[in-house]
Structure 1
Amino acid sequence: MSEKRPVMTWLTDMDGVLVREEDAIPGAAEFLRRLTESGCKFLVLTNNSIYTPRDLRARLAESGLDVPEENIWTSALATAQFLSDQRPRGSAYVVGEAGMTTALHEVGYVLTRSRPDYVVLGETRTYSFEAITTAIQLIVNGARFIATNPDSTGPSPAGPLPATGSVAALITRATGVEPYFVGKPNPLMMRNALNRIDAHSETTVMIGDRMDTDVVSGMEAGLRTVLVLTGSTTRDQVERFPYRPTRVVDSVADLVDDIVPPPPTESE
């Protein structure tokens, strides 16, 4: 990375990069500690909209990883920010959990099933037939359709679980209306993250374990990208994609020595 401007900001996916299920990936704790000690700005990004940043901080802490709430950026937060920018203090019907409803409340949205501006589909472990039916009816009657991310499945100890993208496809089939997906691979989530910490794309790296979400969204937002092989992508699979990450490494442990304090600003 030395041929370009120095890296001053780091964005990293969570699952498959820092943790696998409930266990920290070897090297993740040292990687986060070096980021904090160096003074580099960083955010942990996740397409998971179930949990609030406080919930995720607690989950990471149980795995031995220390990440402040303000350093966590979820697809729920990105979705709430997008809706607030598009239609300030609007209304929404949510199919999702606390991560999504809390984020919308915090930007001044009213949650209602009475003629909402938007139907917002997030991730949940308990998709309700009644809630999905209500969402379909509201969209048919004119509500705009938003989904937090297009992931079709999520991991579990027993195997894949249906995720937001699968339920979105069901609603689309019933209504004929395609959702607007806010989370990765939409580069909008990356740009919102950069704005949140006042960072620049030319001096930022995105780390992820998926080519089709992390790497492509980072690339389209103008970031350097690093693929780690501790998650869902193998080295052989990289060659199947028409785009490539800037680097491929075994894990975040290989990036610890790349983290250096940002150069002083002119005011310093």
Structure 2
Amino acid sequence: MSTFKALLLDMDGVLFHGDRALPGADEFLQAISHLPYCFITNNPIRSPAMLVEHFVRLGLPRVDESRFVTSGQATGEWLARQQPDFGFYAVGAAGLHQTLSQYGNYDPETADFVVVGEGEGLDFDTLTIGINLILKQGARLVCTNPDHNVDASIDGLHRVLPGGGALVAPFAVATGQTPVFIGKPHPLLYEMAMQRLGVAAPDCVMVGDRPDTDIAGAAALQMATALVRTGRFGRGEKLPSGLEPDWDCESLTALLDRWRDACPETFGTKTKAG
């Protein structure tokens, strides 16, 4: 904890499940509010502005848009590096379209890139348009994140939804083109967040719920890692071979307690029950 300077946090499965905040999320955010931190997420469905309002609806603290780095933003950044003033055809939720429009131009006829993200949008027509852009116009196939599936809470019930890796599969099969994946565990999301905070990887701790994305990607950058088992990777599950987070906790509350024990001058003291 002596080199602790900044925090990167996943959101889905860490702070909330869909439309329900997880226990301890509010207290955790209050405890780190004086530190440099960013939220980094593989979920491209909501833009940063949408995420600010989502936090408020969940009863979490209102934070500035600049705190959020989404896979939609990282995808737009990557596309702009490949080709300035690019044209795109996106298949996914409205937030993805809004985010990509800040970097390039929507062009369903001669797009340079077909971008697939999470959320509603995939159907026979959008698949057909995307396939033809790739096969006939030479568009490259890009996916915001490699997750095969993601957790959600809909009307209070747990649901498993298709992730970017599943939604891009029909395009890959139909065209024979291997998609370029942008989100975690690939480095761009982490790098964008660190650049905003002005810190290097050894000065950061990544807090996430998925060993295969959050933890693996951070560890590859020599970043400290904290796994919370409130998402898909539950209590008692065995860690994948070769992955050993610096902290492995059942919840944000348990993680905060450990940090308060180790560094009370930074995180305060434990809240007494009763």
TM-score, length of structure 1 as denominator length:
0.89
Q: Does 1:103 align with 2:99?
A: yes
1:55 is aligned to 50
1:221 Cα deviation from its structure 2 partner: 2.0
Report 1:68-217 matches (<5 A): 68-107=64-103, 109-141=104-136, 142-156=138-152, 157=157, 159-217=159-217
Cα deviations by residue, 1:2-43 (Å, 9 ceiling, x for unpaired): 4xxx2111001101111123222222111111222x2x1111
Task: Indicate the residue corresponding to 2:20 in structure 1.
Answer: 23
Q: Deviations over 1:187-223 (max 9, x none)?
A: 2221122112222111100000111111001111221
Of 9, 15, 19, the match for 1:12: 9
| Larger mean Cα displacement after TM superposition, 149-158 or 43-52 | 149-158
Following TM superposition, where does structure 1 have runs of at least 4 consecutive aligned residues deviating by more than 4 angstroms? 258-262
Give the secondary-structure state (helix, strand or coil) at the position aligned to 1:26: coil
Q: Cα distance 1:260–1:149, how it changes in 2: closer, same or farther (>3 A)? A: farther
Partner SS state of residue 160, structure 1 = strand
Structure 1: runs of 5+ lacking an equivalent:
263-268
* Matched-pair contact (CA < 8 Å) for 2:118–2:167: no
Write the mapping of 1:211-226 to structure 2, written as runs, cut at 5 A.
211-226=211-226
Q: Which runs of 5+ in 2 are unaligned?
A: 268-274
- Contact 1:238 1:244 (8 Å CA) reproduced: no
Task: Count how many residue pairs are aligned between Structure 1 and Structure 2.
Answer: 256
**Which string of whole-angstrom CA distances, capped at 9 and with x for unpartnered residues, describes residues 38-80 of structure 1?**
2x11111211111111111111211111132211111001111
Q: CA deviation at 1:116?
A: 1.3
**Alignment partner of 1:233: what SS?**
coil
**Identity of paired residues, percent?**
35
The one-letter code of the counterpart of 2:237 is: Q
Per the alignment, do residues 259 and 28 of structure 1 end up closer, same or farther by CA in structure 2, a change over 3 Å counting? farther
The answer on whether the counterparts of 1:154 and 1:161 sit within 8 Å (CA) in structure 2 is: yes
Equivalent residue of 1:236, what SS? coil
CA distance in 2, matches of 1:134, 1:10: 41
The Cα shift of 1:259 comes to 7.8
What is aligned with 2:232?
232
State the one-letter code of the partner of 2:249.
V
Q: Say whether the 8 Å CA contact 2:247–2:255 is kept in structure 1.
A: no
CA distance in structure 2 between the partners assigned to 1:85 and 1:222 by the alignment = 25
Asked if the contact 2:114/2:142 (under 8 Å) is kept, the reply is yes
Answer whether contact 1:8 1:261 (CA < 8 A) is retained. no
User: Shift of the alpha carbon at 1:158?
Assistant: 6.0
CA contact (8 A) 2:228 2:255 kept: no
AA aligned to 2:117 is: G
Q: What CA RMSD, in Å, does the superposition of the two structures yield over aligned residues?
A: 1.9
